[in-house]
């Protein structure tokens, strides 16, 4: 399905379905890395301190633009696994309305077992990435 036409919940359900196809966490890690390779790259001009995620052990940049009534996110990371994690979040929240992003839950992350299989610093980074995305939504909703 075209994720630009899907709701956040539909995208999250699709991701949960994809992860349920893997038997073990090594396969899931490989899949996360593959997702990172498909991440549309952030323009280098947006790799700034303002766009960096604090609380991540690796460098992660997230940039947002508002197109009509939807927010479009781009991101990058200097670590391959982290790049895959941000790719999952970008897929989930990009091309969505600010209000929908703010109201969305992130239970799907627990459903796919991501948080429990990350190191504590990567799990903190994941939480920081979600906070940054929601902060962008809050700013754009106020505009």
Give strand ranges (E) for 12-98: 60-67, 70-77
3-state secondary structure of 96: strand
Q: Which of 15, 42, 53, 56 is catalytic?
A: 56
Which two three-digit tokens encode residue 27? 């396969």
Which two three-digit tokens encode residue 5? 């036409």
Respond yes or no: is residue 122 known to be catalytic: no
CA–CA distance from 91 to each of 21, 25, 134, 143 (Å)? 19, 21, 14, 23
| Residues assigned a catalytic role | 56
């Amino acid at each position: 399905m075209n994720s630009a036409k899907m709701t956040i919940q539909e995208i999250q359900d699709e991701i949960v379905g994809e992860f349920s196809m893997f038997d073990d966490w090594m396969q899931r890690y490989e899949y996360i890395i593959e997702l990172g390779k498909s991440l549309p790259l952030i323009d280098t001009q947006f790799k700034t301190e303002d766009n960096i995620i604090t609380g991540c052990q690796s460098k992660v940049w997230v940039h947002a633009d508002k197109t009509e009534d939807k927010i479009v996110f781009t991101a990058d990371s200097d670590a391959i696994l982290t790049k895959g994690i941000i790719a999952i979040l970008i897929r989930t929240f990009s091309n969505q309305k600010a209000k929908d992003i703010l109201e969305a839950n992130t239970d799907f992350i627990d459903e796919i077992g991501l948080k429990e299989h990350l190191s504590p610093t990567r799990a903190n980074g994941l939480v920081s990435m979600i906070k940054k995305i929601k902060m962008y939504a809050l700013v754009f909703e106020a505009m």
